[in-house]
Amino acid sequence: MIAVVGAGLMGAATAWQLARRGHEVALVEAYDIGHTHGSSHGSSRIFRRAYADPLYVGLTGRAYEQWRELEEDASTPLLRTTGGLDLGEGRDPEALAEVLGAAGVPYELLCAEAASERWPYVRFDGPVLYHPGAGVIDADQTVAACVRRAVEHGANAWTGVRVTGFDVGEKVVLRTDDGRELTADTVVIAAGAWLPELELPVPLPPLTVTQQQVFHFRQRDPSVVWPTLVFKDETMQTYGLPSGSDGGPLPAMKVAEHDRGTPTTAATRTGVVDASSRTRVSEFVRDRLPGLAPDPVAEATCLYTTTPDEDFVLDRHGPLVIVSPCSGQGAKFTPLVGAMAADLATGRAEPHPRFRLGRTA
């Protein structure tokens, strides 16, 4: 039997992948399915192929195929293609174009004038990379679909049950806060920002948990279908994407800083939006995104769990599989990470060297 601890995006996807392969699975979640305490809630996450690192470009291609498999299995649309823009000196659109071209990923490299003609609601002052394969993932619907299908494939879901300890021997005994014990041959730990607090007998790399802020801005023209965008210069790293239901009843864009999160822990995060982040993001919208009204209509917080090298943690240590595809970029890989974690849990594959536990310890 394989236990999966955590039913956010990665745990839910792992349970789905294992259950549909016919394995006995118990999925243990401390809160309700779809809770808002971690990193996996909300209606909008970016899917994109534009990475400077060929490894991640390749993984996005594999992830896209897995998204379509999940949608077919769940009979639920989860990934909506919008196209995506990368701009700003720090993004280096020309270098991104070379990497995408080498991987056979379609793209266009445009000058500022040509980009302004196509997207007049964005202000450009340099070269722009456009790749049509980018889009938006509905995280809430993804968690719900994965858990539903995992259960329909035979998994047992324990919700509102917090794991309080692990006894690791030939098998693993999980102790829970309601006094129960669960014995498993293998345990997949997909606890997100709670991972550093579990005191596992595992050599984890350094993990930094930060609280991030996200803001939603109303579209001036509700008929426009915005692409996703990633911007970076010497002062900030910012991303934007269609908000979905998180932005309210009218079309909006979610815009946020990728950097400048507030260090915290899963247990102590405040959930209070940083006013300075709101000011910086609103100024960015006013300056760069004239197609949006610059005052946010909704806002929220979430958690990042970041490694020093910003690579994933996907490795096995004895009967424990550690799943932390983190650093604010994991959502787009959700069903692929589930497949990779399932492979580790069942001995079908070895971890990628860059995702090993001890690489930065």
For residue 286, how far is the Cα from the chain centroid? 27
* Average pLDDT value for residue range 217-226: 97
Residue 359 confidence (pLDDT) above 80 = no
Share of the chain above pLDDT 90, in %: 93
Please, are residues 93 and 117 in contact by the beta-carbon 8 Å criterion? no
190: amino acid identity, one letter = A
Residue 361, pLDDT score: 44
Residue 182, pLDDT score: 95
Strand partners, 292: 219
pLDDT in tens, 2-17: 999 999 999 999 999 9
Residue with tokens 């693993």: 172
Residue 102 confidence (pLDDT) above 60 = yes
* Predicted TM-score of the model (pTM): 0.96
- β-strands 186-189, 2-5: how paired? parallel
Of the pLDDT bands very low, low, confident and very high (cuts 50, 70, 90), residue 253 is very high
Residues contacting residue 66 through CB under 8 Å, at least 6 positions apart: 335, 336, 338, 339
Of the pLDDT bands very low, low, confident and very high (cuts 50, 70, 90), residue 174 is very high
| Lowest mean per-residue pLDDT among 110-114, 324-328, 341-345 | 324-328
Residue 360 confidence (pLDDT) above 70 = no
Of the pLDDT bands very low, low, confident and very high (cuts 50, 70, 90), residue 259 is confident
Strands (E), 44-171: 45-47, 79-81, 84-87, 108-110, 128-131, 135-137, 156-159, 163-168
